[in-house]
Amino acid sequence: MDDVRIIEIKESIFADNDKEADRIRERLKKEKTFLLNVMSSPGSGKTTTLIRTIDALKDQLRIGVMEADIDSSVDAEKIAGTGVKSIQLHTGGMCHLDAGMTEQGLNELGTEELDLAILENVGNLVCPAEFDTGAVKNVMILSVPEGHDKPLKYPLIFTVCDALIINKIDVLPYFDFDMEKVVEYAHMRNPKLEVFKVSAKTGEGMEAWIQWLKTQVEAFKA
Amino acid sequence: MDDVRIIEIKESIFADNDKEADRIRERLKKEKTFLLNVMSSPGSGKTTTLIRTIDALKDQLRIGVMEADIDSSVDAEKIAGTGVKSIQLHTGGMCHLDAGMTEQGLNELGTEELDLAILENVGNLVCPAEFDTGAVKNVMILSVPEGHDKPLKYPLIFTVCDALIINKIDVLPYFDFDMEKVVEYAHMRNPKLEVFKVSAKTGEGMEAWIQWLKTQVEAFKA
């Protein structure tokens, strides 16, 4: 599994990130490639959630994945195990990806033959939320052990996301996590946020999320 | 509990952060105030760990706490419950504190009467590691649900810390967390890292950490 391609992406030179992101969205629209940007804290279960999602959709959609990290290629290797194309992006210490950096990854991934390109952003609730990557939809994962107060402390990421996956519900009995409150706080930040309660480990609740994603991709390609 | 003081700290104007950090360390050395910088992912249990630590030491040391967050004052309110001085710093969206921002907090906290000033940094494994705050010691908390691969993905924070607290060991049975591997990976980044395995929730293992911190503060003041 050591043959995963590692791309050292460079800090982007564009002054206007939003403009650059719009240009990428235009390009992907023409290619009919749906870009999903996945954000979360370190260790919330992004990769495990993606593996379940890919396993459910890979026979229906052509999927490619970009794993962004400061260092290591452990995530890209795990994703490669699903059989879909997976590359590892190293950010050179940067805490997020902007549109230009995302495009460097898309170019390496090759999007023309893909229905769905997934970017697993750097684990961080602050910086990634500040940069439009050109994605069609943004999704964030919040895991039960992180606590239900996160929408109060990290408002922006809840505001910019279209969907919130609450992961690790299998360990709810062992944590003081108030599910009603977290949904209330999240909707305070963003009333339109779609919420999915899942355990990527056991598979519980994954179907609704996968169905939502599939519907989004199909609507985009239509 | 709504009377916690909230300070809006401003992005610092100093070009040379390391020089500024050294100046703060000099000042605190004269005042005999030990500054501890606590870093981690969101939701790793920084506040709960600090509450246990403060409860154990508050009769022996004069302690003050700065809680840094993008928004909310939930953590400063929890710390205020221990009876020590606690202020909330809002970073204006910034993902970390640098030395100048830390000093704004120290000035508001008032360090002259303190033996131990604690900075709970913004929850983030990337940006806080890049900025010397002027602290005497840096400690990071990694919680079991985050996984044992974090030293591979976020090398810098393990390199700049003096101690690593592995928190939430009470939930070890419910997660695939390899304790041997995480310690091996962490020591690969930093062979001198002191490692403490604790559950801030149950109190297990907290004594060794608290004893270490107390020894550091006493050595500094001597």
Residue range A76-95: average pLDDT?
Answer: 95
Q: Are B111 and B64 in contact (CB under 8 A)?
A: yes
**Amino acid code (one letter) for A84:** V
Question: 3-state class of B142 per DSSP?
Answer: strand
If phi > 0 it is left, if psi is from -120 to 50 it is alpha, else beta; for residue B100 that is alpha
Q: Are the Cβ atoms of A123 and B125 closer than 8 angstroms?
A: yes
Q: Report pTM.
A: 0.94
Give the A:B interface size as CB pairs under 8 Å: 112
Q: Are the Cβ atoms of B42 and A154 closer than 8 angstroms?
A: yes
Residue with tokens 């593996």: A51
Q: Which residues of B touch A (CB under 8 A)?
A: 41-43, 69-72, 74-75, 93-95, 122-127, 130, 143, 145-147, 149-150, 152-156, 168, 170-171, 174-175
φ, ψ of residue A143 to 5 degrees: the values are -100, 150
Query: Is residue A11 predicted with pLDDT exceeding 60?
Result: yes
Question: Could you give the ipTM of this predicted complex?
Answer: 0.91
Tell me the pLDDT tens digit for each residue of A159-190.
Answer: 999 999 999 999 999 999 999 999 999 999 99
> Minimal Cα distance from B153: which residue of A?
A71
Within 10 A of B207 (CB to CB), how many other CB atoms are there? 13
Q: Which residues of A touch B (CB under 8 A)?
A: 41-43, 69-72, 74-75, 93, 95, 122-127, 130, 143, 145-147, 149-150, 152-156, 168, 170-171, 174-175
Kindly state the greatest CA–CA separation across chain B. Answer: 47
Distance, CA of B54 to CA of B37 (rounded, Å): 14
- Cross-chain CB nearest to B74 (options A149, A156, A171): A149
Q: Are the Cβ atoms of A95 and B126 closer than 8 angstroms?
A: yes
Q: Are the Cβ atoms of B127 and A95 closer than 8 angstroms?
A: yes
Query: Is residue A3 predicted with pLDDT exceeding 80?
Result: no
Flag whether A154 is in a domain: no
Q: Are the Cβ atoms of A171 and B175 closer than 8 angstroms?
A: yes
Residue A141 confidence (pLDDT): 98
- Cross-chain CB nearest to B95 (options A95, A150, A170): A95
Q: What is the CATH number of the domain that holds B200?
A: 3.40.50.300
Question: Which residues touch B214 (CB under 8 Å, ≥6 apart)?
Answer: B57, B60, B61
Q: Are B193 and B162 in contact (CB under 8 A)?
A: yes
Band (pLDDT 50/70/90 cuts) for residue A15 is confident
**A74 vs B contacts (CB less than 8 Å):** 149, 152-153
DSSP conformation class of B174: G
User: Where does residue B107 rank: exposed (0-12), middle (13-18), buried (19+ CB within 10 A)?
Assistant: exposed
Distance, CA of A70 to CA of B25 (rounded, Å): 29
**B170 vs A contacts (CB less than 8 Å):** 174
Flag whether A56 is in a domain: yes
Q: CA of A32, closest CA in chain B: separation in Å?
A: 32
Band (pLDDT 50/70/90 cuts) for residue A153 is very high
Q: Are A152 and A142 in contact (CB under 8 A)?
A: no
DSSP string, A19-84: HHHHHHHHHHHHHT-EEEEEEE-TTSSHHHHHHHHHHHHTTTS-EEEEEEESS--HHHHHHHTTTS
Residue B10 confidence (pLDDT): 86
Residue B174 confidence (pLDDT): 97
Residue B1 confidence (pLDDT): 45
| pLDDT, one tens digit for every residue, chain B (222 residues) | 456 899 999 887 778 999 999 999 999 999 999 999 999 999 999 999 999 999 999 999 999 999 999 999 999 999 999 999 999 999 989 999 999 999 999 999 999 999 999 999 999 999 999 999 999 999 999 999 999 999 999 999 999 999 999 999 999 999 999 999 999 999 999 999 999 999 999 999 999 999 999 999 999 999
Flag whether A166 is in a domain: no
| Domain around A39 | 5-142+201-221
Distance, CA of A161 to CA of A193 (rounded, Å): 7
Residue range A62-82: average pLDDT?
Answer: 95
- How many structural domains comprise chain B? 1
- Cross-chain CB nearest to B124 (options A124, A150, A155): A124
b/e per residue, A87-121, with b = 16+ CB within 10 A?
bbbbbeebbbbbbbbbbbbbebbebeebbbbbbbb
Sheet containing A194-197: which strands, arranged edge to edge? A5-8, A85-90, A63-69, A116-120, A34-40, A137-143, A163-167, A194-197
Flag whether A174 is in a domain: no
Tell me the pLDDT tens digit for each residue of A25-52.
Answer: 999 999 999 999 999 999 999 999 999 9
Residue A184 confidence (pLDDT): 98
Flag whether A162 is in a domain: no
**Amino acid code (one letter) for B200:** A
